[in-house]
Amino acid sequence: MRTVRLAFAPLFLGAILLVLVPRLLGWELQVVLSGSMGPALPPGSVSFVQPTNSQALKLGDLLVFDLPRDPSQQVTHRIVEIRAKGGTIEFLTKGDANNAPDDYWVPEANVRGTVRGHVPYIGYIVPYVRTPVGYFVLVVIPAAIIIHGEIRTILGSARVRRQRRERYWS
């Protein structure tokens, strides 16, 4: 049982840190769904998106934005050109794996942020964790195993101390 706890503890702690630290920084987690940004952001990665001021963006930044023709979809592409138009800023973007830039300009109102880092492959389990069964299997069960093991350790230590006291006073 101790081996199982030792195996689950770092995984559980890593999962908590993966979710908690970016949230504390005000960042969003985003799962990379397509290969358009490969190899910089391979599919299945989880990227850390930091909200940013459009004025601070520069060429080469990985921009996360709402698709101009369908704002319900978010895209992550690299900025390849910046222009001022009508008192606002627009960005031309391109996926690293794509042959040509996108066929639209991204207005600054559609900018969500920039990618500050990513963790490969973790994104494949995120949709599963969002289901009740996935949450139970990947969060509740490991947490229960760790808590159970810690309770056994605490009770075992208390038992040893009690036995030592009894031997000492006998």
Catalytic residue among 70, 72, 103, 170: 103
Report the alpha-carbon distance of residue 127 to residue 170 in Å, rounded.
Answer: 60
Closest of 160, 156, 164, 126 to residue 45, by C-alpha? 126
- β partners of residue 46: 31, 119
36 classed as catalytic: yes
- Of 45, 77, 102, 118, the catalytic one is 77
Q: Which of 36, 45, 47, 102 is catalytic?
A: 36
- 70 in active site: no
Q: Does the annotation count 66 as an active-site position?
A: no
- For 99, phi and psi rounded to 5 degrees? -80, -30
CA distances from 141 to 4, 88, 153, 170 (A): 12, 50, 18, 43
Exposed/middle/buried for 30, CB within 10 Å: 0-12, 13-18, 19+? buried
Residues designated as active site: 36, 77, 103
